[in-house]
Amino acid sequence: MANTTHDDLATKLLTLINVSASRSDTPKRIRLDAPAGEKLGKKKRLSTGSEGDAQQVDAELASEDMDKDNSLENAPENPPDNAPDDDDDEESKDTLYTHFGVSPTRLTDENISKATEKQWSLKHSTNTLGRCTEYCVDDTGKDNQNVFVSPKFANKGDTHLLNLLGSYKDVFANHLSHSENESMRGSLTLHMHNHLLRTRRRVLKNNEKLAHFHAQENDKQDPQDQQDAPECLDQGFTRPKVLILTPFRNTALAWLKDLIAHSPTSQTDNKARLFQEFSLPKDAIDKIAQAPPGTYPEDHVKTFVGNIDDNFKIGLKLTRKSFKPYADFYSSDIILASPLGLKLAMEKTSDTDYLSSIEMVVGDQLDVIAMQNWQHLTDIFASLNAIPRDGHGCDFARVKPWYLDNKAKFLRQSVFLSAYEIPEMRSLFGRHCHNVEGKVRTETRYGGVLGGVSGGIKQSFYRFDVDSLLDEPDNRFAMFINKSLPALQKSAVSSSHTLVFVSSYFDFVRVRNHLKATGVNYAALSEYSTNKEISRVRGAFFRNEVSFLLLTERFHFFRRYRIRGALTSFFYSLPDHAAFYPEIVNMGLDESKGIDESDLQSIALYSNSDFLKLQRIVGSTDAALMVKQGTDDRYSYN
């Protein structure tokens, strides 16, 4: 939709509205809209119905059963004294209405242009997440501080974090520990419930307002006395408002537990089935959970304990009475899915209209998703907030104008959670997050992980310079085949028992093909290797039957095996996960074989584009010096 002209957009919308209205078997409204018998909209005169029709509308409102329609109303009949009122003065103050109201404060052509062209005003600040860089569409520094959190949720989470999320800015928290991630997840579920609850409350109040207006108009005998219905612009094209993307079912289960725990309803339908399907099968053995302490690193245990199926999707619907999993997407308020599961669903039906009205998207554990297929994630973000191809029963008279103008992506709140940052994440945050309310990205200074390397192991880092990121893979490969590999083969130490670590699978294939073509005695392990192949290769490398072992980062991420027999660790590219560096370097230590630190060495290639990786390994201070052109191209640590 980025290149769609205004005329094309208008034509598409008119066609969509006409087709939707012409289908006799299709409702003329979203099911979460006003009750049956109601025809509402700006400049649209109400039809002259009978008095019985009006009474039926009032009766439906009075006895509204939230379990039979798509409504989400969970609000008390009498809101607390500090809750925002319905008058325009109050709406103009609260962030929910200044950002997602009919006329968002910052949604101007100038601000949209700045967000699209990445003309952000940057400032550094400190908040509940720590040191941050803030992206603003203006340099006034004036933010709306009037964040309202329903009393149902206000006392359950971090007040400062809820206020930050309630500002509706995009947030990229990129150095979270597992405990910090859990805290963020809890606050996010509160924020989601608060947003959905208050959004639905507005819809129901407008339903009531319009129903009473309808009843009064039907009492008028003279059609000339009838008036236009009041304007109630309170909805999007489709119902789903929140999208949560997680890598595995175990992470999705944690989200489900928090969503249920923080839900204002007391009942959860199909709870036993839900927990069963997102946990391990009844008779399955969780080898990681049952392994003795210390067998696997702590981060590996927390990531892989439980059900690690990466193909799932589920719709979640909230009603007055209960929390309803397994809802159809178009009847859901929240969509919880893995990138793979949602991508396959999109491809199977060629339907992404349920993503047209997403107002909040969360990408959880992006560091883990990066070890899957990052393209799925970018494809999903590219499909968000597009004009739908079908009406799906939408009452266009109640759709907010910025949805119709295809500007929803400039208001959508995106929240990214990760243990570390890679260029792909920063690119996603820059290319697909255009929130005119602004963005917040956390910053940190790293101390490095060299302290985890056993003392006495010689470590060397060799830099090669690149002028363009497009040339970086070719320059790296040329450095390897022209300098590094010949040096390794000539050395009496590194001509055998050498482990070659490659972070990218594409680089892995390129290096593997070169080793094969040049007759190098090597073996290779990747994320696609079978258990039988892994056992055979590990044994051959340990017995020195092969001189070089090629290893991908994803293999180490998913398996976390100790590869015995590696005296030289050569990093064709540095790992994204900094903890992998000392693990790989220390693998060769073997007291039973008399191999100590003096027998091992580590060699790493890096370029000036590897700063994010490098600073997590050697520390921010050293990394800043090491990437500068004109300085030494070799650095050593012992």
pLDDT in tens, 501-544: 999 999 999 999 999 999 999 999 999 999 999 999 999 999 99
Whole-number pLDDT of residue 9? 64
What φ, ψ does residue 326 adopt, rounded to 5°?
A: 65, 30
- Kindly write down the DSSP assignment for every residue of 244-297, as one continuous string: EE-SSHHHHHHHHHHHHHH-S-SEETTHHHHHHHTS--TT---HHHHSPTTSS-
Dist. CA 22–CA 439, nearest whole Å: 42
Distance of CA 84 to the CA centre of its chain: 30
Residues 500-512 have pLDDT tens digits of 999 999 999 999 9
Q: Which CATH number fits domain 6-442: 1.25.40.10, 3.40.630.30, 3.90.180.10, 3.40.50.300?
A: 3.40.50.300
Domain assignments of the chain as residue spans, ordered by start: 6-442, 450-637
CB 250 within 8 A of CB 307: yes
Position 231: which residue type?
Answer: E
**Paired sense of beta strands 121-127 and 130-136, if any:** antiparallel
What DSSP state is assigned to residue 384? T
- Over range 592-601, report the average pLDDT: 91
pLDDT higher than threshold 50 for residue 211: yes
pLDDT higher than threshold 60 for residue 242: yes
Whole-number pLDDT of residue 310? 97
- Number of Cβ within a 10 Å radius of residue 375: 11
Model confidence band, residue 182 (pLDDT cutoffs 50, 70, 90):
very high
Residues near 343 by beta carbon (within 8 Å), at least 6 away in sequence: 376, 379, 380
Cross-strand pairs, 130? 127
Whole-number pLDDT of residue 58? 38
Dist. CA 571–CA 574, nearest whole Å: 6
Using CA atoms in the order 535, 537, 538, 544, what is the torsion angle rounded to 10 degrees?
Answer: 140
Q: Which residue has the higher pLDDT, 54 or 385?
A: 385
What φ, ψ does residue 559 adopt, rounded to 5°?
A: -100, -45
Whole-number pLDDT of residue 19? 54
Report the chain's C-alpha Rg in angstroms. Answer: 29
What DSSP state is assigned to residue 483? I
Least confident of 30-34, 67-71, 610-614: 30-34
pLDDT higher than threshold 50 for residue 69: no
Dist. CA 412–CA 494, nearest whole Å: 53
Dist. CA 111–CA 340, nearest whole Å: 34
Q: Which residue has the higher pLDDT, 426 or 63?
A: 426
258 half-sphere exposure, CB direction, 13 A CA radius: 24
Dist. CA 439–CA 115, nearest whole Å: 10
Sheet of strand 634-637: strand arrangement: 522-525, 548-552, 498-502, 568-571, 601-607, 458-464, 634-637
Whole-number pLDDT of residue 553? 97
Task: Give which of 236, 214, 315, 192 is closest to 32, Cα–Cα.
Answer: 236
- CA dihedral sign, ordered 541, 543, 544, 545: negative
Least confident of 77-91, 159-173, 344-358, 478-492: 77-91
**Paired sense of beta strands 439-442 and 130-136, if any:** antiparallel
Calculate what percentage of the chain has a pLDDT beyond 90.
69
Same CATH fold assignment for domains 6-442 and 450-637:
yes
Q: If phi over 0 gives left and psi between -120 and 50 gives alpha, with beta otherwise, what is residue 535?
A: alpha
- Number of Cβ within a 10 Å radius of residue 172: 26
Using CA atoms in the order 477, 478, 484, 490, what is the torsion angle rounded to 10 degrees?
Answer: 120
State the residue for tokens 């400062």.
Answer: 160
Whole-number pLDDT of residue 72? 40
Q: Which CATH number fits domain 450-637: 1.10.10.1100, 3.20.20.80, 3.40.640.10, 3.40.50.300?
A: 3.40.50.300
Q: If phi over 0 gives left and psi between -120 and 50 gives alpha, with beta otherwise, what is residue 136?
A: beta
CB 606 within 8 A of CB 626: yes
